[in-house]
Amino acid sequence: MKFLWILLSGYLGACMASFINVVALRTIHGRSWWGAERSRCEECRQVLRLPDLIPLFSYLWLGGRCRYCGNPFSAGYFMVEVAGACIGAAIAWKWGLSWASCAGFVLGYGLLLNSLTDIYSGYVYDFYAWIPGATVFLMRFAGGTEALLDGLAGAALGFGFIAAVILVSKGGMGWGDAGLTG
């Protein structure tokens, strides 16, 4: 039964990562990511249909190319889906079907979203950085006073370290990175 949960979580993780990739890319381009537009080939502008959008499988089946014009898609799309599958499977393997898994999924995919916006644009969006932060805070809060204080001390230390790097490097990192750690 645990193997099926790991397999299901891995594939659902790939699906989640595919969606998160859309959110990240559309956010950095100032486009709506929910309900306003359909996914399309960036070359021929053809709207992609369901068989073209099945995470992992469509990329492999179509050889990483658009079904309509043959233009190659970035391997990055596939790699993000693989990363999402790994996140989902690892969390399911570690915690099984539990509340800890639910928190792990929110934390893992929240961090993936922040990582993607940072990779694509060099910017960590404040309104996405709260997702992993709030999740960790709730997990620490549920662990009792000692866990909460330990977590707050760790967050302050992480924020302070990144803030020092920002100040010393004169902009080598941004404050979004510090906010994400704190």
**What is the C-alpha to C-alpha distance for residues 138 and 102, in angstroms, rounded to an integer?**
12
Least trusted range by pLDDT, from 4-18, 36-50, 99-113, 121-135? 121-135
Residue 122 binned pLDDT confidence (cut-offs 50, 70, 90): confident
User: Which pLDDT value is given to residue 44?
Assistant: 95
Residue 177 binned pLDDT confidence (cut-offs 50, 70, 90): low
Three-state secondary structure call for residue 47: strand
In a domain, 66, yes or no: yes
Return the percentage of the chain with pLDDT > 90, whole number.
51
**In contact, 33 and 23? CB cutoff 8 Å:** yes
Q: Could you report the per-residue pLDDT of 112-121, keeping only the tens digit for each? A: 999 999 999 9
In a domain, 139, yes or no: no
**What is the C-alpha to C-alpha distance for residues 6 and 69, in angstroms, rounded to an integer?**
36
**In contact, 105 and 120? CB cutoff 8 Å:** no
Q: Could you report the per-residue pLDDT of 14-53, keeping only the tens digit for each? A: 999 999 999 999 999 988 888 778 999 989 999 999 999 9
In a domain, 53, yes or no: yes
**In contact, 105 and 90? CB cutoff 8 Å:** no
User: Which pLDDT value is given to residue 144?
Assistant: 73
In a domain, 67, yes or no: yes
Return the percentage of the chain with pLDDT > 70, whole number.
93
Q: Tokens 């989902």 belong to which residue?
A: 88
Q: How many domains does the chain have?
A: 1
In a domain, 130, yes or no: no
Q: Could you report the per-residue pLDDT of 142-158, keeping only the tens digit for each? A: 777 777 777 778 777 87
User: Which pLDDT value is given to residue 180?
Assistant: 59
**What is the C-alpha to C-alpha distance for residues 161 and 103, in angstroms, rounded to an integer?**
26
Residue 130 exposed, middle or buried by CB count within 10 Å (0-12, 13-18, 19+)? middle
Residue 88 domain boundaries: 2-102
In a domain, 116, yes or no: no
* Buried b or exposed e, range 140-162, using 16+ CB within 10 angstroms: beeeeeeebeebeeebeeebeeb
